[in-house]
Amino acid sequence: MAKQLIELIVNGDRYEVAVEPGASLAEVLREELYLTGTKVGCNQGDCGACTVLVDGRSVSSCLTLAVEAHQREVTTIEGLAPSGETLHPLQEAFIEKGAVQCGFCSAGMILAAKALLDRNPAPSPEEIRHGLSGNLCRCTGYVKIVEAIQAASLKLAAGKEAR
Amino acid sequence: MPTPRFTFHQPQNLEQALDLVGMYRTNGKILAGGTDLVPKLRAGLMDVHHVVSLNRVPGLNRITFHEDDGLVIGAGARLADVALNPEVMKHYPGLAHACSVMATTQIRNMGTVAGNIVNSAPSADTAAPLLAYKAAVILVERGGRRHVPLTEFFSGPGLNVMEPMEIMEAIRVPSPPRRSGSAYLRLSARSKVDIAAVGVAGFLALDMDGVIIEARLALAAVAPTPLRCPEAEAMLAGQKPDPQLLTRAAAACVRACRPIDDVRATAAYRRKMVQVLAGRVIEQCYQTAERGDA
Ligand SMILES: Cc1cc2nc3c(=O)[nH]c(=O)nc-3n(C[C@H](O)[C@H](O)[C@H](O)COP(=O)(O)OP(=O)(O)OC[C@H]3O[C@@H](n4cnc5c(N)ncnc54)[C@H](O)[C@@H]3O)c2cc1C
Ligand code: FES
Ligand code: FES
């Protein structure tokens, strides 16, 4: 069973990769493209650590076959701070509010939060909790994460007004 | 975990998909959202050599509603899109609710209603509301097309009447009458993510005097397949609900179920919860029906 050549558009960059049809997008991002910001926790869709955006929607990259992402736009945590210097407001808020402890869930949390804010720029704490119901955190107890996302939503709204 | 090995096919239209599914009917599998299939492929429990993806077949993800024809949910329609579709929310609130609380945001962005039905888990969250709405599925194969009422679709845990060369093209749901109401309630150990331990869906249509003309009740996760409750439905037809009738109809729902003990709940707990939820569902359906806005 031959590898299949696919084209991935990850954080705006085009990659041609030969992948096993059974390989997950998470595996290919981490092991072929060395984008190791995406984490794999459960590998079965439960924990959300592997969350990435495909055409703007949050998905579990551990259950997405890489071949299915052929010519689709993938956003990983690396894509939120492309320069590596200026952080995305969500990332800043996670640091400011202490929403990161071990950090294993953070990449997935932040991408799930981005997908939420893209659809609903001013979510209530309840809506944030609903939007993040697919992302587990063993450390923080979630309170700081919800606060960080609220803070980021205010910051993003202020940024928009300023422009 | 070893990478599962198979040849992957991405047909560009339904004809091609049907050819592939026909050709590989003995060792092929159809892929939609993959949220049920991919974990199974990885577990290595199935002898699958070919995977046929429906995700490049145009038009499959449509969701359309007409007053006369009702709702058509294409096999590619994602759970999240069905949950947020304004027409589904308005006319089929039980289905919208199922699609918005089951699994997780990510899984709802990936998974399809058709995949949930074909997978045929006893606990499938969209099954009970679709049964209550009298849905039918459209199955296509190279030579033709058939409509199967959902009541005749499931045949056991993970089993249904589909032939290996068939593709589910869409799910059709009739238009609800004006004075009708519907609801779905589910229980699980955690509020979300977890597979349902009990699911109860209902639909009531009333006449101008508030008498029930037609009642439909359906259960999930309490028997080898999702199922309707004909005895309870017959009790309700021709009546106006009062607390006693609700209790009796809910008890008839309990008699319809054949629950088991498993990690999610005991059979005894499931029976008790069917009693409670069925009563609440009937009440909720009646209240929305009386407002006549559903
Ligand atoms: C973390 C997690 C949580 C979940 N929570 C829930 C839950 O709360 N409630 C619940 O009901 N389910 C739940 N599920 C199960 C699953 O997400 C749903 O059943 C989903 O709707 C399946 O759709 P899919 O498109 O991903 O199916 P796939 O995995 O693509 O397919 C499922 C099966 O149907 C077949 N198939 C799919 N489409 C077609 C078609 N058009 N024609 C013929 N055959 C087809 C496939 O061959 C396969 O056998 C959960 C899954 C995960 C991973
Ligand atoms: S690693 Fe994908 S959801 Fe847990
Ligand atoms: S910070 Fe450790 S899992 Fe969330």
CATH number at residue B197: 3.30.390.50
**Chain B: closest CA distance from residue A121 (Å):** 17
Task: Please say if the pLDDT value at position B192 is more than 60.
Answer: no
CB pairs under 8 A between A and B: 89
B227 in the same domain as B161:
no
Which residue, of B138, B157, B173, is where some domain finishes? B173
Where residue B1 falls among pLDDT bands split at 50, 70, 90? Answer: low
Nearest CA to ligand 2 atom 3: A45
State if residue A52 touches ligand 2 by the CB under 6 angstroms criterion: no
* B198 inside domain: yes
List chain A pLDDT tens, one digit each, 163 residues.
689 999 999 999 999 999 999 999 999 999 999 999 999 999 999 999 999 999 999 999 999 999 999 999 999 999 999 888 899 999 999 999 999 999 999 999 999 999 999 999 999 999 999 999 999 999 999 999 999 999 999 999 988 776 5
The answer to the question of residue B1 being in a domain is no
B137 shares its domain with B199: no
Q: Which of A53, A63, A55, A62 is nearest to A90 (CA)?
A: A53
Q: Are residues B207 and B159 in the same domain?
A: no
Give me the amino acid identity at A25. L
- B154 with B81, same domain: the answer is yes
A78 touches chain B (CB under 8 A): no
Look at residues A35, A28, A29, A75 and name the one whose alpha carbon lies nearest to residue A53.
A75
| B267, part of any domain | yes
Which range scores top for mean pLDDT: A81-90, B33-42, B185-194? B33-42
B202 in the same domain as B270: yes
Q: How far is CA B275 from the centre of its chain?
A: 21
In a shared domain, residues B77 and B143: yes
Q: Which two tokens stand for residue B265?
A: 């709940």
Nearest to A22 among B6, B10, B53 (CB): B6
Domains of chain A in sequence order: 4-80 (3.10.20.30), 89-161 (1.10.150.120)
CB-based contact B110 A63, cutoff 8 Å: yes
- C-beta separation of B112 from B77 below 8 A: yes
Instruction: For residue B28, give the ligand nearest its CA.
Output: 1
- Structural domain for B141, as ranges: 63-173
| B168 and B189 both lie in a single domain | no
Q: B233 and B192 in one domain?
A: yes
For residue A103, the CA-to-ligand 3 centroid distance in Å is 5
Q: In what order do the strands lie in the sheet with A73-75?
A: A13-19, A4-10, A73-75, A51-54, A57-60
CB contact under 8 A, A22 and B103: no
Answer yes or no: is pLDDT of B175 > 90: yes
Q: Please state the ipTM of this predicted complex.
A: 0.96
Residue B96 lies in a domain: yes
Q: What's the CATH code of the domain at B84?
A: 3.30.465.10
Counting the structural domains of chain B, the total is: 3
Q: Do B109 and A57 touch (CB under 8 A)?
A: yes
Coil vs helix vs strand at B73: strand
Residue of B nearest to A52 (CA): B106
Asked if B246 and B270 sit in the same domain, the reply is yes
